[in-house]
Structure 1
Amino acid sequence: MIAGCIARVLACTLVTSALLACSSNTPAPAQTTGIVPKPSLAKAWQGQLLIGAAVDEKNIKTQGTLIAEQFNSVVAENAMKPMATEPREGEFHFEAADAIVHFAQSHDMAIRGHTLLWHLHTPDWMWQGTNGQPADRNLVLARLKRHIETEVGRYKGQVYVWDVVNEIIDEKQPDCLRDDKWHQVVGPDYVDYAFRYAHAADPAARLFINEYSTEAPAKQRCLIRVVQGLLQRGVPVNGIGHQMHISVFYPTVAAIDETLTAFARLGLENQITELDMSLYRWKDNHLYDTRENLLALQARRYGEIMRMIHNHPDVTAVTWWGVTDAGTWLNQDAPSDHRDQPLLFDAQGQPKGAFWAVFAAARR
């Protein structure tokens, strides 16, 4: 069934019709009994988008009912990253990832794979050669190939899309690639190799570059330049993952719209992969209005973004980076009196105004 759902989403051509009006005062149910509202977001958006959430092995146990009823796609927040799956060379750990895959399959949900290569989650052994010498290019590529073959091969036919590389763009560099160890040891073609290894391991999987701030003009130009080069070399890139860790203050809906259009023109699929909307400005713990007003603004902004997505048949999935406000990564280092509330469900798992705005934006 889920294969059919994915096929419908990937093949979906949105018809033009009047957009359903939505505002921050969209009425919520009169009662708040802890019962998950029906129909769910996944059902409301069925046939248009996959609606996803980042999960871990803990919240699929504590919030499994909520996740299964509201979403039809999941991504492992950390369990599929290299340091989690191969912390020591040749020593693979898939227990947490397997639990998430089993949960998804038991609830007929699609599975995103995140991520095969990320400079912040590359274990140190990748760079260590013999006799205390640094690993050379050939050794690093051989290790990368084995890692990707093992992980992608394990979930072949189960994970429908992989974030092959994550956060590789640096608009300040001449070639637009981050000057990290991957770039320094292997060279810029490490990106080509990562995609080719992933494609060989599962030819049917969709392969993505995942990146943040794709709406920023300089970064967007660099990402387009890198992607065009990959496509010209015949590298199997299928789409762009736009992280979208945004705020109630920025970016504009128009900027997001223009970004999606720019990559759709390249013939690429777009997915929003790590969506949350902070009540704060970046690295600023000051609230610029009352929480009530900011949450109303958040709901309105979520509704505007989701209505805009109706104009983009190239967008096949929207994934929130978390399930409830209680588990958002944005509160990991936040002072106790500056807790953020960026998701659709509050800390108790109750639907917020943002939920109702996203729900109302669906064509049902």
Structure 2
Amino acid sequence: MKKLFYTVVVFFGLIAIFYFSLLVLIDKETYPPTALNFTPTEFTVVNEQEVFYSIGNSIKFGNQFSIADKTIFESDKRIVDVHVSPNNSFAVIEYSDEIWLLSYDGSIKQFISKVMNPFDVKSEPVGETFYTGNIQWGPTSDYFYVLEYEVYKRNKDGYISSETKALVKYTIDNQEFSKVVNPMPFFLYAQGENGIYFVSPTPDGDLVLNHSPLNSTQRKVVGLEELKKINNLRTIFYNFSVHDYSDMLIAEGRVKSQISEDRTNMSFYIDDNKVLTTKEGMGFKGPTFGMQAGIGNVFTPSGRYFLLNLYSEQYNGPLLFNVETYEYMKMPADLRIYQNVNTKTSNSWILTNSGVEIRK
């Protein structure tokens, strides 16, 4: 009985400590960073290539990055990602449960398939297959790849496990799916001149690079000498993700952030030119400066403009910088710019046993 009593005391004591800690956290003073010498202006975007971009759930194609450009597609669903073709004529719009194909002029608005997150399957039976949003365009922009997964195990607690099953090609002209690598043991892959390079795990937990001709069950492990040759010839085609792009800008030295010696201010640099400085704020997780070289910050195709997301006392949203004059202006909230950056348009990459990686 005593043991039960002490157990109850300890239990309610832990609950009391938890709620006390939560109250302390809520009561902690938080405040946004301050943008120093914040002087936004207005200017006209000129000589810029038209691109796909979104404001909220509206997809647009233009070069003014404003509500003035025509909306070519809209949905009540939240956009997960937009995958632009290499020729900038098409985009695959990815939502959490489906993907659509869209042309730059809005003449093509085509539902492609239902998709699911492989970590979020719930009620599907064992053996059920589904597509994911791990999309790669082909270099000719007339087809793209998706991954097919299969539910292979249901645990007693209801958790469902899935695994990669096949690499599937969707051709725009005939609007058909066809399996090109089957089975496909892993989700990391890139396109070569004569087939697909993909990563697979070994029984020891290491990763190896494999090659498979298209529409073939044959595959071979890529050795070190062959890997060196591939990197020298630069024959791989791979579309970089938004995460890759952010790492690429930092690796190439295009953007960087630097904290002052007294750690109270942080300055943001574009091509080694300081464009904005913020004074430290305080968030729930600790000090924050409200800007960084991260996802969503992007150069336009001409390289003349740069989009930077800022969180500060004066303004919370995207800023568009003119890289030639370093003027900047406020942009619509939730603005995201999409473009295709790949292994042909950038040289900051290397193929390894883990797939295509950004070269630091």
Give the TM-score taking structure 2 as reference length: 0.31
Higher helix share: 1
The structure that has the greater radius of gyration is 2
Higher relative contact order (CA 8 A, sep 6+): 1
Give the TM-score taking structure 1 as reference length: 0.30
